[in-house]
Amino acid sequence: MGQLGIENANEQIKKTLEIDPWLEPFSGAIKERISKFGKTKGILEQNEGSLYDFSLSYQKYGLHADWETGVIYGSEYVPNVEEVSLVGEFNNWDPQSHKFERANGMGLWSINIPPTANKEFAIPHDSKIKLAMVLPSGERIYRLSPWLTRATQEKDVPVFDGRFWNPVKADRYAFKYPRPMLGDSQGLRVYEAHVGISSPMPTIASYKHFTKNVLPLIHRLGYNTIQLMAVMEHAYYASFGYQITSFFAISSRYGTPEDLKELVDEAHKLGIIVLLDVVHSHASKNVDDGLNMFNGTDHYLFHGGKKGMHELWDSRLFNYGDYETLRFLLSNLHFYVDTYGFDGFRFDGVTSMLYKHHGIGYGFSGGYHEYFDENLIDSDAITYFMLAHTLMREIGDRERIRLYSVAEDVSGMPTLCLPLSIGGIGFDYRLSMAIPDMWIKLLKHSRDEDWDLGSICFTLTNRRYKEKCIGYCESHDQALVGDKSIAFWLMDKEMYTNMSTLTPLTPVVDRGIALHKLIRLLTFSLGGEAYLNFEGNEFGHPEWLDFPRVGNGESFHYARRQFNLVEDDLLRYKFLFNFDASMQHLDSKYNILNSPQAYISLKHEGDKVVVFERNGLLFIFNFHPTKSYVDYKVGVDTPGVYQIVLNSDRSEYGGHNRIEEFNPSTGKPLEFFTQNEPWNDRRNSLMCYIPTRTAIVLQLKEKIV
């Protein structure tokens, strides 16, 4: 590292070491990270003009149509081949008629196809196309372009066809609404969704169905963010979108590119930002319609040999140190922001990318050496993430938009969610993956009367200082077949028989509904600076998620979300839906999530009571299965008059209306007055009634000095 580089790195990590002094012994590794990123960024900027320009390669690579001249043009990076041709329905698949020319000696090929005699494009819109290549051995192979923006699959045909997507102007979707700009005080309330399963019908739902039927529900619930899963084209539907074949094509199972643009635009109209689940951690092994062996070699964009294989996922691994791989992946991000209007990304499989061992068979103890050992860390992947976040900031600055990033990382790597400017990797949020594991473990192995509230609160608040987290009880991982959702763990014995309001409320369902609410509210208010829910789980969806496959007779019965259950007034699912909506709107009003961590004043193992304050609200939970408490004293710091703003025991949430919220004589909200008596390390206290398995949230109405 040059002297200037050392000085810059020293200055950058100064604030990081102030945040976490325990990183001091590893400051050298952080400086090396900064230096490598700076060198790579410098090379790209020198060669390409800027990182922004580099990421616009999607406008040159692949095929494009010039509507003024009628010319179709494009480029492809195909090293180690003798010839490249474009074939398709337009030329009867003749590899001799439309050949690419060598654009340089580095594997770049280009083509220009003039219009027909009728001044029409030579390749009709949505017609089938492929690349034909001749290898040094003389063998001719056929592949789909890596930059292809449309791929479709005919019924009972396993291989996808490439398509030339070029609709006339009248058929192209034009964005109508500006991107929502969330305020700095707002945390993300994320609704994780999969378009294909978003209908009650046993079929693959469409983008249009989601736009018309699911977006209004998400808006009604109060979520300000949608995280769309399984959008990038994947050959195997049951992979949940994790075996990508065409990175620039969106899944044709759900509709057209114009349909997806409409979905994102309508979400923006409702004030909802949309994140894309982007899978840059690995790629499908498919050859005929994927990237694998694209040019006849095993190292096109990937590591060659064993290093390029993910043993557990049976997929290919990118070489993040390769120049053209960086072009491909960074352009992929810019493409989805520009073409479809996405507002950021949830990066899948970050742990696999960060470490050479990919997390396979490796248990992280939390020791810092595990995160900075050069024998364990993939420094090229870290550089890629730093470049990706630099690019996102550049796009944001140029286009005056805000882009968000979320890391799916189980390792807990320090600095992952710190800004690049102080030596961090740049993510905005990481998923708190230990929280759902904790809840499922408790529900599997413990009675709720035996739950250790101190341990629960520790897990919910155990996150790195100044590094934001997304707390969640369950995501799609817990909904998949082989596991159970929280609602199913709580009530599976009676979910098909006793969820009707026409039948008596049983102890099992009563307990299940009560704990479902408490688990969610506790996680929501303690677990992070943002919150995530997987679609359907907010109302206790009665079934797991299982995609059609050989093992279930290719059935769609469990590959759906039964939103119709919420609209049935005779079913109890509506209670959980209503509570989830109130929880989201509580944050939209009081900005709980994106505020400093809560101060927990009480974790009483005998009473099973938890009390804490966060951003001016007082949260009181009673997890006891049988005991209710009258005039229970709780500590609160700010003196004054308090009122209930959320009460899980309301009848509209499936509760028993045991808590009076209004003065019966005046009809005004009941008031709680603090006493000038310190309690549980808080300067004041108040008394409240807190029934069994109930939570209440109080807000300071009037401060008393």
What amino acid positions are annotated as catalytic residues?
348, 408
Q: Of how many residues is the chain composed? A: 705
Rg (CA), the chain: 27
Place of tokens 């060198």: 39
Between the alpha carbon of residue 268 and those of residues 18, 25, 262, 276, 589, the distances in Å are 38, 45, 10, 14, 20
Burial class (CB in 10 A: 0-12, 13-18, 19+), 660: exposed
Q: Which of 504, 498, 502, 503 is nearest to 540 (CA)?
A: 498
Tell me which residue has tokens 């009867």. 92
Triad 254, 479, 481: Cα angle to 5°:
90
First to last CA, the chain: 58
3-state SS class at 203: coil
The 3 state secondary structure assigned to 276-311 is EEECCCCECCCCCCCCCCCCCCCCCCECCHHHHEEC
Distance between CA atoms of residues 529 and 483, nearest Å: 27
Q: What are the helix (H) ranges across 428-506?
A: 434-445, 453-461, 476-479, 486-491
Compute how many other C-beta atoms are within 10 angstroms of the C-beta atom of residue 120: 10
Phi and psi at residue 221, in whole multiples of 5°?
-70, -30
Backbone angles phi, psi at 224, to 5 degrees: -110, 5
- Please state whether 423 falls in left (phi above 0), alpha (psi between -120 and 50) or beta: left
Contact (Cβ atoms closer than 8 angstroms) between residue 446 and residue 490? no
C-alpha to C-alpha distance for 700 and 495, rounded to whole angstroms = 39
Cα gap 33→151, rounded to integer Å: 38
Within a 10 A sphere around the Cβ of 665, how many other Cβ atoms? 6
Closest CA to 219 of 559, 584, 544: 584
> CA 643 from chain center: how many Å?
35
Phi, psi of 607 (to 5 degrees): -80, -15
Q: How far apart are CA 652 and CA 656, in angstroms?
A: 9
Give me the phi and psi of 358, to 5 degrees please: 60, 15
b (16+ CB within 10 A) / e for 538-565: bbbbbbbbbbbeeeeeeebebbbbbbeb
CB crowding 631-653: b at 16 or more within 10 Å, else e: ebebbbbebbebbbbbbbbbeeb
Indicate the Cα dihedral angle 43, 45, 46, 47, nearest 10°. 90
